[in-house]
Amino acid sequence: MKLSLGPLLYYWSREDTLAFYEQAAGWPVDVVYLGETVCSRRHLMRQADWLALADHLSAAGKEVVLSSQALIESESDLKTLRKQVGQGRYALEANDFGAVRLCAEAGLPFVAGPTLNVYNPDTLAMLAGMGARRWVPPVEMPRDMLAAMPVPPGVETELFAYGRLPLAYSARCFTARHYNLQKDDCQFKCLEHPDGLAMRTRENEEFLTLNGIQTQSGKVHTLAHRLEELPGAGVDVVRLSPQYRHMDRVVAHFRIALDGHPGRAALDTLLPGQPCDGYWTGRAGLDYQAATTPT
């Protein structure tokens, strides 16, 4: 089973971003996604920078996919999307249906991203006919529904298996609002929160995480203790979402577990929050059922 490194959802400094992917070139991941998917105001990495990283990672033996923005709000966003499609060298993770259409018109292979919200076989078959070679189910899709989904021949299934869950996008920037700032004058406060801005209830329980215009789960979704269930659900690729610290150890943990070597130390010590796995088993997303034996 292949291991992928999903797109970076947070806003890190240029130096931290470049250093992260320099290290990733040596990690045991098969697929790396590159690009800004959350906010068009995050300008520290330009398309030329992402393409240079793509070339470097490709030379290191990784399959590279560029990721498109999930919420297109302006002509400048469309211009960026057209450039991503027009580069022609790397497949695109299409995170809205405008990106799907542009890829189909250009004949560019694409990955149907999780924000396309594909819940039925007709939609998946349509995307396959337009050039999708892989799809990422919505993060809320439970195991039994995924196992019952007819997947067209030649299309891989990639599952979001680790990281804070992207739950919603809005035209409003919630991080800026937290600081009583306007979205267009956000002062790039996301840079101060490399794993997102935590929201807690009055009872001090983890609730949600603010990441600019993106709302994430407060807890960290992980299926590290359920990897033996993935083949039965038709999963071909396991996606890990980047976090600021210990990502090398997270990748190593999953690689060792996928290679069938149990008995490793628990992953929980590497998580930037409490774990959850509820969506996978059809329960409330913030629920968690620990493994009976460590993996």
Instruction: Band the pLDDT of 294: cuts 50, 70, 90.
Output: very low
Q: Residue 234: left (phi > 0), alpha (psi -120 to 50), or beta?
A: left
Tokens 């577990």: give the residue.
Answer: 257
| Mean pLDDT in residue range 111-119 | 97
Residue 195 pLDDT exceeds 50 = yes
Q: What is the pLDDT of residue 120?
A: 96
Instruction: Band the pLDDT of 291: cuts 50, 70, 90.
Output: low
Q: List the domain boundaries for the chain.
A: 2-163+221-265
pTM over 0.85: yes
Residue 250 pLDDT exceeds 80 = yes
Evaluate whether 241 touches 160 at the Cβ level (below 8 Å).
yes
The CA distance from 108 to 200, in Å, is 42
The CA distance from 268 to 266, in Å, is 5
CA 250 to chain centre: 15
Around Cβ 23, how many Cβ atoms within 10 Å?
12
Around Cβ 188, how many Cβ atoms within 10 Å?
16
pLDDT tens readout for residues 48-101: 999 999 999 999 999 999 999 999 999 999 999 999 999 999 999 999 999 999
Of residues 140 and 264, more confidence is placed in 140
| Mean pLDDT in residue range 30-44 | 96
Evaluate whether 240 touches 227 at the Cβ level (below 8 Å).
no
**Secondary structure (DSSP) of 185-253:** G-TTGGGG-TT-EEEE-TT--EEEEEETTEEEEEEEEE-GGGGGGTGGGT--EEEE---SSSHHHHHHH
Q: What is the pLDDT of residue 140?
A: 97
Pull the structure tokens for residue 49. 């920078």
Instruction: Band the pLDDT of 265: cuts 50, 70, 90.
Output: low
The CA distance from 163 to 211, in Å, is 13
| Mean pLDDT in residue range 27-51 | 96
Residue 292 pLDDT exceeds 60 = no
What kind of architecture, by CATH, is found in domain 2-163+221-265? Alpha-Beta Barrel (3.20)
| Mean pLDDT in residue range 170-193 | 95
Evaluate whether 171 touches 184 at the Cβ level (below 8 Å).
no
Q: What is the pLDDT of residue 295?
A: 42
